[in-house]
Amino acid sequence: MRGAKSAVWVAGAITVAMTATACGGGGSSSDDNAAVDPNGTYTYYNTEPQNTLIPSNTNETGGGYIVKNLFRGLVDFDEKGKLRNMAAESVESPDNKVFTVKLKQGWTFHNGEPMTAASFVDAWNWGANAKNAQLNSSWFADIKGYDAVHPEKGDPSADKLEGLKIVNDNEFTIELSHPVSTFKERLFYDAFFPLPKSFYKDPKGFGEHPVGNGPYMQDGDWQHKVEFKTKKFDAYKGEDKPKNGGVIFKFYNKDDAAYNDLVSDKLDVMFQVPTSVMNQYKNDLGDRAVDQMYGGNTNIAFPLYQEEWAKPEKAKVRQGLSLAIDRETIAKTALKGSKDAADGWTPKVVEGYQPNSCGEFCKFDPAKAKELIKAGGGVPGNKITITYNVDGGHKEWVDAVCNDIRQNTGVECVGDPKPTFQQVRADITEKKMTSAFRMAWVQDFPNISNFIAEQYRTGAGANDMAFSDKGLDDLMKQADEAKTVEDSNKIYHQVEAKLAEQMPSIPLFFDHTKAGYSKKVKNVKFDTFRQAIWTEVEVKK
Amino acid sequence: MGRFVARRLLQMIPVFIGTTLLIFLMVYSLPGDPVKALFGSKAADPATVERLRHEFGLDKPLLEQYWNYLTGLFQGDFGKSFTGRPVADLMADAFPVTIRLALLAFGIELVLGISLGMLTGLKRGKLVDQLVLVLTLIVVSIPVFVIGFLTQFALGMKWKLITPTVQDSMDVGQLMVPAAVLAALSLAYVTRLTRTTVVENLRADFMRTAVAKGLPRRRVIGVHLMRNSLIPVVTFLGTDLGMLMGGAIVTEGIFNVQGVGNTLYRAIQTSEGPTVVGIVTVLVLVYLVSSLVVDLLYAVLDPRIRYA
């Protein structure tokens, strides 16, 4: 999950109402033949970054979008969510434990410094070091020697990760403390971006004036709260050379204000239109409106750390509640088609998605719902609440879900609104939840493991339910040790199918990107991360 | 006079300490943990949390934090935000924008409000008076954000006279519309207040005397009537300047003006103590100074009011 801001966004996608157009790419503009200015710049909706622009410290969308344009990692995902090599010539591993990375030749940073193996290894060592308190340091946790560099308490006993070894300028090896089959996938993340030598002299100053190796470089100073300008980096060696002159990230506090600018062509690309205009944005923008699925979902989770919900027979109750919810209808009515009914824990556009993994339990069957709830000894107190944050626009679907539960099972159900996302998160991480709550996830990378291991492994970072199952943990370990991603995916399919037996959370919806762009640009496409393919955007003359 | 000013300045110290302490306590009692919130939906890493807490001084007892903040403040250090930027820099970006916006709004309500008030007061019961009364009533009864959105929609989206949001927050020309929106409510109050006092003073003894002495009409209205009528208006305008600075939150949000309101809104959302306290402290100072100026203006307007 990309941080607080993005979760509010996910949230934002919800309330909604829209015209009854079928989902699918937001196609091409009518005057697609307009002449293109290869040096033209365009503006991109953004929020002021919360943290300094150091890759290992950027974990929210505002800063993330800028960093992703200034830097290129070893690998990244293409528009369809397929992994490809970027700065790496190859990343090979015989056992998913030791990886050999060979770099492409001739890449440089924006200041002319050549990109070498040390650019990566030093940056990772710095990012993992507890002394530097980087928000993304846990991404290095799989690398051998992480505990010494980042102990849970006290000062680190080493300042270099044991598992990183430089072979020569263009090659280095990564040794993990245990096999991870999706480690190569993970390498796309911001935390793994390389840094030039100048960074270590003045990390603070670098945060204001980042120097990357990506297709765009900073243009002028970062005008805080106003905009961050980038321009095409002419010496960029990657395959995704920009078809435009640069991206200007324009900062807004209110998405309504941004949307008004979008409609008046004062803003060129907005990756998520505000909830308040869901039922009109397709009319406003015509074929410049985009509506497609992305790698995010919405579930209802249960506090399995509470004595009542921890009882094994309550799995039946959770299955029963799931059966009582008519997802299709809610998606069409309360959500006005802004989401799709979920049939499992992994969204459709994510690699490793298997249809119907939740099986019969995600179908609508009121009769069976009652039966199962009864068999499981009923809901504690015959009443559940669903906690959600008001600032994200979740009320409509929560109320609809509760209606279904009330009408179809006789269990009392009400929404439990909390003022802010931050407050709900604090209650969840401090394990203060007593009844059901909203749980949303946006992919870190488009693979089933990111949706399952990150949320359902014992003690995992986003396991909000405190769900724990030895059998599933073992399976996930096996998956990590699998030789190929395909093999790993197959094992995750089993894990997902078994989740249905215990139902720690109820899958509800798969989320949509609802974006739009102005008349000044064309060829605007969005990937499964809900990001525009920045380099592909063409600016009309 | 000098002693009065000195006494007032001294009084500001306890007010200043009291308000900053209150705001400090309020910000820190907001629900949620700001440091853990930096991690979003991911579980926070304890080692990193501990280090960040130490870096921001959040691991100390609240009163010690306040003391450190206060002593820093007297050395001109406003602390730093979670982004690592000094709060002083944040404010240096935001205040010039909001001061422009507030002064523009202030100018609009001062000039328009007083002239409309004088006009309607002198032409009591006439068509102009009725018309302005109805208009001000409408403005007073509509919330500012509605006026803001309507203006934005009409001028920006429908007729395309302006851009829907402000593109350059330092450009006075672009700030005119948001300033007018910001001024609308107070403008209505100033108009009505001026009208009422003008109507009252028209029947006052000194007016009758002035007219009886055969003074020219310009002097009667300009010096005798206006000077006496302005005392309550000046009181209102004085406190209003502080209101405008703080009240810009809504207007700045609608028009995406990058001023104090927007900065404050964001800082409250992320529970950024130093930023919130810093901005509000400056706003409190603006209030204190403007009310002092109001008091001093009384003496200028009405020589009977003397300060010892």
Pick the residue from chain B with its C-alpha nearest to A441: B41
Question: pTM for the full model?
Answer: 0.86
- In this model, does residue B277 exceed pLDDT 90? no
Say how far apart CA A299 and CA A350 lie, in whole Å.
16
- Which residues, including other chains, have CB under 8 Å from residue A352's CB and lie 6 or more apart? A346, A447, A448, A449, A489, A492, A493
In a domain, A44, yes or no: no
Q: Assess whether A314 and A435 both reside in one domain.
A: yes
What is the total count of domains within chain A? 2
Looking at chain A, the whole-number percentage of residues with pLDDT higher than 90 is: 77
Which strand (E) or helix (H) includes residue A40? none
Say how far apart CA B215 and CA B219 lie, in whole Å.
7
Say how far apart CA A348 and CA A354 lie, in whole Å.
8
Pick the residue from chain B with its C-alpha nearest to A418: B31
Contact residues on chain B for A51, CB-CB shorter than 8 A: 38, 82-84
The yes/no answer on whether domain B87-301 falls in CATH 2.60.120.10 is no
Q: Dump pLDDT digits (tens) for B188-213.
A: 999 999 999 999 999 999 899 999 99
Contact residues on chain B for A6, CB-CB shorter than 8 A: 40
Contact residues on chain B for A155, CB-CB shorter than 8 A: none
Q: What letters, b where the CB count within 10 A reaches 16 and e where it falls short, cover A165-177?
A: beeeebbbbbbbe
Contact A91, A63 (CB under 8 A): no
Cβ contact A423–B32 (<8 Å): yes
The 8 Å CB, 24+ separation contacts for B290-296 are B290/B238, B290/B239, B290/B241, B290/B242, B291/B238, B291/B239, B291/B242, B292/B5, B292/B8, B292/B9, B293/B238, B294/B234, B294/B235, B294/B237, B294/B238, B294/B239, B295/B8, B296/B5
* CA-to-CA separations, B1 to B4, B297, B307, B308, in angstroms, rounded: 5, 12, 5, 6
Cβ contact B48–A133 (<8 Å): yes
Contact residues on chain B for A204, CB-CB shorter than 8 A: 84
Mapped onto helix, strand or coil, the DSSP state of residue A177 is coil
In a domain, A405, yes or no: yes
Cβ contact B46–A138 (<8 Å): no
Task: Tell me the average pLDDT across A165-188.
Answer: 94
Q: Assess whether A189 and A306 both reside in one domain.
A: no
B214: left (phi over 0), alpha (psi -120 to 50) or beta: left
Contact residues on chain A for B41, CB-CB shorter than 8 A: 1, 3-4, 7, 425, 440-441, 462
Token reading at A414: 């009400």
Looking at chain A, the whole-number percentage of residues with pLDDT higher than 70 is: 94
Least confident of A203-212, A460-469, B260-269: B260-269
Domain at A180, CATH number? 3.90.76.10
Residue B93 near chain A (CB below 8 Å): yes
| Residue type at position A176 | L
Q: Assess whether A353 and A487 both reside in one domain.
A: yes
Say how far apart CA A352 and CA A450 lie, in whole Å.
10
In a domain, A185, yes or no: yes
Work out the mean pLDDT of chain B and round it to a whole number: 88
Q: Dump pLDDT digits (tens) for B126-172.
A: 999 999 999 999 999 998 889 999 999 999 888 888 888 888 888 88
Say how far apart CA A376 and CA A315 lie, in whole Å.
7
- In this model, does residue B38 exceed pLDDT 90? no
pLDDT of residue A16: 34
Contact residues on chain B for A440, CB-CB shorter than 8 A: 41
Closest CB from B48, B90, B164 relative to A130? B48
pLDDT of residue A371: 94
Angle between helices A485-502 and A314-323 (to 10 degrees): 100
| Residue boundaries of the structural domains of chain B | 2-73, 87-301
Contact residues on chain B for A266, CB-CB shorter than 8 A: 163-165, 167
Token reading at A343: 């049939």
Residue B58 near chain A (CB below 8 Å): no
Q: Are strands A41-46 and A246-251 parallel, antiparallel or unpaired?
A: parallel
Q: Dump pLDDT digits (tens) for A261-320.
A: 999 999 999 999 987 788 889 999 999 999 999 999 999 999 999 999 999 999 999 999
Token reading at B282: 């400056």
pLDDT of residue A303: 96
Query: Chain-centre distance of CA B252, in angstroms?
Result: 13
Where does a domain end: A139, A174, A197? A197
Contact A507, A302 (CB under 8 A): no
- In this model, does residue A27 exceed pLDDT 50? no
Q: Dump pLDDT digits (tens) for A420-470.
A: 887 888 889 889 999 999 999 989 889 999 999 989 999 888 899 999 999
Domain at A479, CATH number? 3.10.105.10
- In this model, does residue B39 exceed pLDDT 90? no
Pure H helices in A307-348 = 307-310, 314-323, 327-332
Closest CB from B37, B55, B253 relative to A422? B37
Task: Tell me the average pLDDT across A246-258.
Answer: 91
- In this model, does residue A237 exceed pLDDT 80? yes
Cβ contact B32–A422 (<8 Å): yes
How wide is the angle at C-alpha A158 spanned by C-alphas A154 and A159, nearest 5°? Answer: 105
Cβ contact B41–A152 (<8 Å): no
Pure H helices in chain B = 2-28, 34-37, 46-55, 62-74, 87-108, 114-122, 127-141, 144-151, 172-202, 205-212, 217-219, 226-255, 260-269, 273-301
In a domain, A239, yes or no: no
Say how far apart CA A99 and CA A120 lie, in whole Å.
14
How many CB atoms sit inside 10 A of residue B144's CB? 17
Mapped onto helix, strand or coil, the DSSP state of residue A366 is helix
Contact residues on chain A for B34, CB-CB shorter than 8 A: 422
Work out the mean pLDDT of chain A and round it to a whole number: 90
Contact A464, A301 (CB under 8 A): yes
Closest CB from A4, A153, A225 relative to B258? A225
Pick the residue from chain A with its C-alpha nearest to B83: A51
Question: How many angstroms away from the CA of A4 is the closest CA of chain B?
Answer: 4
Q: Dump pLDDT digits (tens) for A46-63.
A: 999 988 899 999 988 889
Residue B90 near chain A (CB below 8 Å): yes
Question: How many angstroms away from the CA of A134 is the closest CA of chain B?
Answer: 7
Cβ contact A224–B265 (<8 Å): no
pLDDT of residue A32: 62
Contact residues on chain B for A263, CB-CB shorter than 8 A: 157, 164
Cβ contact A152–B46 (<8 Å): yes
Looking at chain B, the whole-number percentage of residues with pLDDT higher than 90 is: 31
Residue B194 near chain A (CB below 8 Å): no
Residue A120: give the domain boundaries: 81-197
pLDDT of residue A81: 85
Residue B262 near chain A (CB below 8 Å): yes
Could you identify the residue written with the tokens 């579930």?
A299
Task: Tell me the average pLDDT across B6-21.
Answer: 88
How wide is the angle at C-alpha A176 spanned by C-alphas A173 and A181, nearest 5°? Answer: 100
Mapped onto helix, strand or coil, the DSSP state of residue A231 is strand
CA neighbours within 13 Å on the CB side: how many for A96?
19
pLDDT of residue B307: 64
Say how far apart CA B279 and CA A116 lie, in whole Å.
45
Task: Tell me the average pLDDT across A514-536.
Answer: 94
Say how far apart CA A463 and CA A392 lie, in whole Å.
21
Contact residues on chain B for A420, CB-CB shorter than 8 A: 31-32, 269
What is the DSSP code (8-state) at residue A271?
A: S
Cβ contact A224–B32 (<8 Å): no
Contact A299, A507 (CB under 8 A): yes
Say how far apart CA A170 and CA A168 lie, in whole Å.
5
- In this model, does residue A17 exceed pLDDT 60? no
- In this model, does residue A217 exceed pLDDT 90? yes
- In this model, does residue B78 exceed pLDDT 90? no
Pick the residue from chain A with its C-alpha nearest to B162: A264
